Amino acid sequence: MKKSATFIASATIAVFLTGCIIVIHDISPGFKQLLVSLTGHHWTSVSLIIIVLFALFSGLFSSSESMRKFLRVYNIGLWTTAMLIVTLLMIVGILVELTFRFLAD
């Protein structure tokens, strides 16, 4: 139970960061080019960055009792609700950004 809660918290943070990276790379051609220069394709870079960050946050939450207490990582209800809200907000944010870009062209 404790391990799954740390993974849910890590996944929530990863979803948030993925949404932010997607919006930023759509807005900023320079950032998108940076991602392309890392691995040859921006989606590959985004995927690798998120995998690494998920692993880092999972390790941090698993090893640090004070971090788990501070973020209330063991509260599965809180983090599953946060995951749902963050996912929906990122979907809406990406759709809004894409809609503005479409209408601007």
Domain ranges of the chain: 2-104
**pTM: predicted TM-score of the whole model, two decimal places:** 0.85
| 4: its two tokens | 């799954």
pLDDT digits (tens, 9 = 90+) for 10-25: 999 999 999 999 999 9
| Average pLDDT, integer, range 71-77 | 83
- Give the separation between CA 1 and CA 76, rounded to whole angstroms: 9
pLDDT digits (tens, 9 = 90+) for 24-40: 998 999 999 999 999 99
- Give the separation between CA 90 and CA 16, rounded to whole angstroms: 7
Residue 53 has pLDDT above 80, yes or no: yes
